Amino acid sequence: MTAAVKQHLIDPAVCIRCNTCEATCPVGAVTHDANNYVVDASKCQFCMDCVSPCPTGSINHFVEVAKPYSLADQYSWTELPPEDASTEAAAGVEAFDEDAAALLADAHKGSGGKVRRPPSASDPRINLFSRRNPAEATVTGNLRLTPEGASSDIRHIILDFGNTSFPVLEGQSIGIVIPGEGANGRPHALRLFSIASPRDGERPNTNNLSLTVKRVAEKKPDGTELRGVASNYVCDLKQGEKVKVVGPFGSTFLMPDDPEADIIMICTGTGSAPFRGFTERRRRSTPNAKGKLHLFFGARSPQELPYFGPLQKVPKTLLDQELVFSRLANKPKEYVQDRMRKRSADLGPLLKRATTHIYVCGLRGMEAGVEASFDEICQAYGLDWPQLRAAMRESGHYHVETY
Amino acid sequence: MNIVNVDYDGLIPNNVGLNSDTRVKAALEKWHLGYINWWHDMGPEGFQQSLVYLRTAVSVDPKGWAKFDYVKMPDYKWGILLAPEVPDRKIPFGAHRGEKVWQEVPGEYRAMLRRLIVIQGDTEPASVEQQRFLGKTAPSLYDLRNLFQVNVEEGRHLWAMVYLLQKYFGAEGREEAEELLQRRSGDADTPRMLGAFNEETPDWLSFFMFTFFTDRDGKMQLEALAQSGFDPLSRTTRFMLTEEAHHMFVGETGVGRVIERTCDEMKKAGIADPGNTEAMRKLGVIDLPTIQRKLNLHFSLTLDLFGNEISTNAANAFHAGIKGRFREDKLEDDHRLENGTYPVLRLVGGKIVKEESPALSALNMRLRDDYVAECAAGIGRWNKIIEKYGIPFELKLPHVAFHRQIGEFSKIKADIDGNVLAEADWKKKKDDFLPSNTDRAYIESLMKPESRPGQFASWIAAPKTGIDNKPGDFEYVKIAE
């Protein structure tokens, strides 16, 4: 098979020839004749500036082709050429950065098949800033969430974008460019971090976002310590420091924009980041929504559970929370899947509802237990979990992001 | 103050540094009260408490300029947003071509500028008033949302013009800003300034035709003002154009979807003759000849908005560097037009003839020609839909002399091909060209609201894609009971 290249196309059957894209494009890649508006594949750099202002959505077509369509090809069209199955279109493209795309594909594979965004989710912007052309953000906060002496160092990091537009949605990720080189003399590999704040910032209408980052520092059997380059760089950031940010990435693990949606959120540790964004978004936009948020959140102990304090202040009407601990003195170990079974009387009916969305986020090790609990609950309620899971995934209602 | 960064803290979101401009800020905050009262009185009737999935402009940077969310319309953030300043921008045309653009109003052109801004500003609330009852008969939640999007953005465009009046025109500007809230579309005593903006928008086909034809005039006027040597006017209209594109979209796809539905039903019912109005009406769709008559009406009403073919006002505004031509920056000539000529259709001895006229006097004509070319291209795309169904029918733009109240041809009656008609002939044929009372009554009979998500009235097809990429059954408006 020929290596495919990505190409940006405009759907001539939807476009109204309003010239907005041509006026917006910073590199002159969009042009037109009397018939069509088209994108010059040799000029387009996928900066996405034209996507948001387009009034029709006709601009939002990214395909993979063996050879890019020429301008003459595009001028002659009355509709887009049919795509063949091997180059399925990019409604589901999570990132144009290949490393970011690979990382997200890996993180989402626990869902068991091709993932789709929730039908009501807002249209995400992706890849606005690339590694060649990153956005600059200023660190305006770096707060340790776990007490000194706890076995993990988890940080709440706030990045402010100043005058740069960096539009994100809850559930998306960003990459941070780590300065320097690895042992192999090449730039450090890209690492992604889930955004922990809602789309309009830490406080409404602030141009910033937050991350929940755990410092990776593990004792190896030989006594040395494994230190994650990226997480240590981020956890050591000082207020006022500048960082280079790429992204945003992710177009499927997004929050439904529907007040009637019930959202079941299952996480461990820093996997809670997107759910902090979800919760805050719901609180700000539709606090009296008919749909409810249900959180199953596991950690070793309250001290090691990020945002334990703030969570105590979230009203139960907004967020039904189950905080589950596996290392409490004098108590048997309990994991999120155990608590899910205890709440089967609530989860069962939720699983029967078409408006329910499920999100699983955290360490990959949690998947099997969570699956087993859903299976058990389904059996008790006359449902077939593998079937239901496939159907929910197909319709954008089931999402896994694990690592 | 960085122009891209929008201040959202105050009552009025803006990127013009309103916080450090206390005089204008106070004036606008006072005006805001009147505006909200006007919106409650004259804005969309019956939906002020509904949650509408609206786009709000939040930045002038294309990467993040718009966000979509459920909003109650009275809570919409009407802001003042100017496109970024182009460094070292020069006046692109007229006697001052090549000089630095004006950041303040040049004294000698003050009256002319004010008038242009007031006329542009007056059209914005007018169309909201014209459309205020349409919500009750929306063919779908999708269309209802699009109507409200158009309405709130027309509201924002009023803000854009009022900012210029308040900021640059002192006490006179304040008075004009007040009067923009006092005039009422169609009112016998205090009508809006331009004819087409006092016409009713009685049904949804009229609304789609209005957004296709009349909002496109708005777009052409904004394009001409975006070239202005008065930089604040250029910057504000440039940003307005990004929003105006959505209105073109609503019109073009709205009419296109009506056509598509009609063709689809014709094909299913095996009706081969597009002239068989009766059979098509039995199917609950709008027959193609009626669509043509609606098109004739709206096109001709809109042409009047371009004013007289030969106009001293237009010449003066161009010469002064205040109002340019459509995409002046893309044109290659001397940009002064002191010597050139331009072909203009005129009425000479009762006949329609083409005459070369001084280019400077013919600017209205020129802008109208650019407008007609755009309309024709859009109609070509509508015809593609009809062609796809293999139906032998073609929509056409009527001749520019047809049904005119202003300009050269207001003195005569002409048919849609530009043949001059005697008064008696016109009366006889009028109903072939323009919607008759029967047409109107039929269209009105179709106007039944459809408020179930994903459902559409019988006479209109579903759109190809959703707004903000939403799926077909998305609940664009949560109607408050």
Across the interface, whether the CB atoms of A55 and B469 are under 8 A apart is answered no
Count chain A–chain B contacts defined by CB atoms under 8 A: 101
Domain B18-478 listed as CATH 1.10.620.20? yes
Tell me the C-alpha distance between A196 and A170, whole Å.
Answer: 7
Q: Select from A60, A164, A200 the Cβ nearest to the Cβ of B469.
A: A60
Q: Which of B49, B129, B143, B48 is nearest to B449 (CA)?
A: B143
State the smallest CA–CA distance between residue A367 and chain B in angstroms: 30
Tell me the C-alpha distance between A227 and A224, whole Å.
Answer: 10
| Model pLDDT for residues B27-59, shown as the tens digit of each residue | 999 999 999 999 999 999 999 999 999 998 877
pTM to 2 decimals?
Answer: 0.79
Q: What are the mean pLDDT values of chain B's consecutive 10-residue runs (481 residues total)?
A: 57 86 93 95 94 86 79 91 92 96 96 96 96 96 97 96 96 96 94 90 96 95 96 95 92 97 96 93 96 97 94 94 92 91 92 94 94 96 95 97 95 95 95 96 96 96 88 87 65
State the smallest CA–CA distance between residue B474 and chain A in angstroms: 7
Q: Answer whether B212's CB lies under 8 Å from B252's CB.
A: yes
Question: Given CB atoms, is B248 within the 8 Å cutoff of chain A?
Answer: yes
Question: Given CB atoms, is A355 within the 8 Å cutoff of chain B?
Answer: no
Mutation pick from B145, B249, B328 vs chain A, by most beta carbons of A within 10 Å, is B249
State the smallest CA–CA distance between residue A342 and chain B in angstroms: 34
Identify the pLDDT of residue A92: 63
State the smallest CA–CA distance between residue A15 and chain B in angstroms: 8
Question: Given CB atoms, is B481 within the 8 Å cutoff of chain A?
Answer: no
CB-CB neighbors (< 8 A) of B378 in chain A: 16-17
CB-CB neighbors (< 8 A) of A23 in chain B: 241
| Phi-psi domain of A396 (left: phi exceeds 0; alpha: psi -120 through 50; beta: other) | left
Among chain B residues, the shortest Cα distance to A286 is held by B70
Across the interface, whether the CB atoms of A16 and B478 are under 8 A apart is answered no
Quote the tokens at residue B360: 């400077």
Instruction: Report percent pLDDT > 70 for chain B.
Output: 98
Question: Given CB atoms, is B253 within the 8 Å cutoff of chain A?
Answer: yes
> Going residue by residue through chain A (403 aa), what tens digit of pLDDT does each one get?
445 678 899 999 889 998 989 988 999 999 999 889 999 999 998 888 898 888 888 998 888 788 899 999 999 998 888 865 434 444 467 888 888 888 998 899 888 888 889 988 988 888 888 888 899 999 999 999 998 888 889 999 999 998 888 999 999 999 999 998 887 888 888 889 999 999 989 988 788 999 999 998 888 788 787 888 899 999 999 999 999 999 999 999 999 988 899 999 999 999 999 999 999 999 998 888 899 999 999 999 999 999 988 999 999 999 999 999 998 888 899 999 999 999 999 999 999 999 999 999 999 999 999 999 999 999 999 999 999 999 999 999 999 999 8
Quote the tokens at residue A199: 């789309």
- Domains in chain A, please, with CATH? 5-90 (3.30.70.20), 135-249 (2.40.30.10), 252-402 (3.40.50.80)
Among chain B residues, the shortest Cα distance to A129 is held by B63
Identify the pLDDT of residue B318: 96
Question: Given CB atoms, is B213 within the 8 Å cutoff of chain A?
Answer: no
Across the interface, whether the CB atoms of B68 and A285 are under 8 A apart is answered no
Identify the pLDDT of residue B10: 72
Per DSSP, the three-state class of B219 is helix
The partner residues of A201 in beta bridges, in order of sequence, read none
Question: Given CB atoms, is A259 within the 8 Å cutoff of chain B?
Answer: yes
CB-CB neighbors (< 8 A) of A286 in chain B: 70
Q: CB neighbours (10 Å) of residue B218?
A: 23
Q: Select from B9, B68, B248 the Cβ nearest to the Cβ of A122.
A: B68
Residues in chain B: 481
Interface of A with B in 269-328 (CB under 8 A): 285-286
Question: Given CB atoms, is B173 within the 8 Å cutoff of chain A?
Answer: no
Question: Given CB atoms, is A199 within the 8 Å cutoff of chain B?
Answer: yes
Q: Which residues contact A44 (CB under 8 A, 6 or more apart)?
A: A7, A8, A27, A29
Among chain A residues, the shortest Cα distance to B252 is held by A16
Question: Given CB atoms, is B68 within the 8 Å cutoff of chain A?
Answer: yes
Interface of A with B in 67-86 (CB under 8 A): 78
| Torsion angles phi and psi, residue B5, rounded to 5 | -85, 125
State the smallest CA–CA distance between residue B184 and chain A in angstroms: 29
State the smallest CA–CA distance between residue A55 and chain B in angstroms: 5
Supply the ipTM of this predicted assembly: 0.81
Across the interface, whether the CB atoms of A122 and B245 are under 8 A apart is answered no
